[in-house]
Amino acid sequence: MSKILIADDEQGIRQVLSLIFKREGHNVRAVENGRKALELLREEAADLIVSDVRMPDMGGIELLRAARELSPEVAVVMMTAFATVETAREAFKLGADDFIQKPFDVDELKVLVAKVLEKQALKKENEQLKSENEALIKEQRERGNLGNIIGRSPRMQAVYQMIETIAQVQSTVLVTGESGTGKELVARAIHNLSPRADKPFVSINCGAFTETLLESELFGYVRGAFTGANTNRKGLFEAADKGTIFLDEIGEMSQAMQVKLLRVLQERKVRPVGAHEELEVSARVVAATNRDLAAMVEAGTFREDLFYRISVIPIELPSLREKREDIPGLITHFVQKYCAQAGRQVSVSPKALELLERYAWPGNVRELEHTIERAVALEMTDAIQPERLPEKINNYNPARITAAFSLPDDGLNLTAHLEQLEKTYLLEALHRTGGNQTRAAEMLQLSVRSLRHLLDKHGIRNLTAQLRSDPLRRSAAE
């Protein structure tokens, strides 16, 4: 039931409208001019004002202007027997929700009022949800988390603020950061805080597909496009229409696919494989990568125009070693998460906590989460002990590493030195694993693809020959 205030100098109109709206279940008050309507509005708020334009002692336009100042949320429908373009334009400029000309059809007026009230109710609901959402965001930020992203550090607070700011716009976002820093969580938080939150969020790892399969996944295909295409299939861009599509590992995309993606971002249209017609799509794009796209642009492996198209709004996520103050909070979060799943209660012993806080976490938050999940599963006491942590964490010694990398008094060629260190660690990993590239990649916390890229980069073809010829590796073995 809504509260409706009628203002019209004709008694017959007031009586008819009062009867109509009361039959519709509304609470109705009726007065003969704008001044009395304003007095009633000061006494009690109304949901809708239905007012004549021409009335003695304050007309409808003056009432509309005053009502908007007094009660901005009230809806207003104007009536007049002297409808002109100028009057309608002025009324709408002042915020009138609709306009109807006398004499009017009763059913038409009922439909118009119902639509205005429905729109107003939806607006109030959205404002309430927005207010609740803002309160929730504020509460989450005070607790140090936002949409499953955990952290109280200044770097993470800056990320939260950026997410909240850009969630309301439609620009393309590029999230960068090392593997395991939570890039997809950021993409989901942007989506969930945006006006698109009730629409689909679709995610795809661009590095997990060949060029042909990736095109089919993103754009879809029509029946008969290729062998096995027995039906039409909707692509992910179409599936994410009016929502958000998250393109993870976009740096792994081939240059041919980069060209096709650029066209989609420019034209907002996709052409399914084998189709002749294009489909309009309005999915917001959030891309992510752990690679240096700017360097790839310089190297000619990533298109410059696509880089600028996807990085309209960049967000760089800090590594875990850059926000070490967040480690205790993350540990607590993951312990609670996996204890709840296991139906048990486990804490973290002081010694284990010390080891966890000291470790460098090259795999970032993902590595920390997997470590805690493993420890909770293995621990039989009421507190996680150091023995439940991986050997690399127990044996980690930052002091020893710092000493090994001391700077000579006469300086050094940093680029050449880092290149040599990288090569040395590759050879060491291969030596320890007997040349098994999969195990060596695991030891170095790399993908097999990344390991092979580095092997090619350093020209490591024959392990035995390299071990004999590499002076640092030979001296280390001796």
| Helices and strands per DSSP (H, E), number in the chain | 22, 18
Report the pLDDT value the prediction gives residue 300, as an integer from 0 to 100: 93
Residue 30 to residues 18, 60, 116, 236: CA-CA distances in angstroms? Answer: 7, 14, 19, 55
Mean of all residue pLDDT scores within the chain:
85
The proportion of the chain whose per-residue pLDDT surpasses 70, expressed as a percent, equals: 87
Is the C-alpha dihedral spanning 351, 354, 358, 362 positive or negative? Answer: positive
Distance CA 443, CA 294 (A): 28
Of residues 245 and 109, which shows the higher confidence score?
Answer: 245
Which pLDDT band, with edges at 50, 70 and 90, does 210 fall under? very high
Query: What structural domains and CATH numbers belong to the chain?
Result: 3-122 (3.40.50.2300), 148-318 (3.40.50.300), 321-399 (1.10.8.60), 409-477 (1.10.10)
pLDDT value, residue 253: 94
Average the pLDDT over 76-89 and give the result: 73
Question: Are 348 and 396 within 8 A, CB to CB?
Answer: no
Asked if residue 252 has pLDDT above 90, the reply is yes
**Alpha helices of 268-385 — where are they, by DSSP H?**
293-299, 304-310, 327-342, 350-358, 364-378
Q: What is the mean pLDDT of residues 143-151?
A: 68
Q: What pLDDT sits at residue 70?
A: 87
- State mean pLDDT over 199-217: 94
Residue the block writes with tokens 């081939």: 254
Could you read off the pLDDT of 355-373 as tens digits, one per residue? 999 898 988 999 999 999 9
For residue 134, name the pLDDT band (cuts at 50, 70, 90): low
Instruction: Compute the average pLDDT of residues 434-458.
Output: 83
What is the residue-wise DSSP string for 150-192?
E--SHHHHHHHHHHHHHTTS---EEEE-STTS-HHHHHHHHHH
In this predicted structure, the answer to whether residue 175 has a pLDDT above a threshold of 80 is yes
Determine contact, residues 368/334, Cβ cutoff 8 Å. yes
Q: What are the beta bridge partners of residue 347?
A: 383
Q: Which 8-state DSSP code applies to residue 267?
A: H
pLDDT above 60 for 462 = no
Host H or E run for residue 210: none
Which of 417 and 37 is assigned the larger pLDDT? 37
35, pLDDT greater than 80: yes
Assess whether pLDDT exceeds 80 at residue 235: yes
Q: Is the pTM of this model over 0.85?
A: no
Residue 243 pLDDT grade (very low, low, confident, very high; cuts 50, 70, 90): very high
Residues 6+ apart with CB under 8 A from 159: 149, 151, 186, 315, 317, 318
As a whole number, mean pLDDT of residues 309-322 equals: 93
Residue 473: is its pLDDT beyond 80? Answer: no
Sequence-distant (6+) residues with CB within 8 A of 194 are 167, 168, 244, 284
Q: What is the CA radius of gyration of the chain?
A: 32
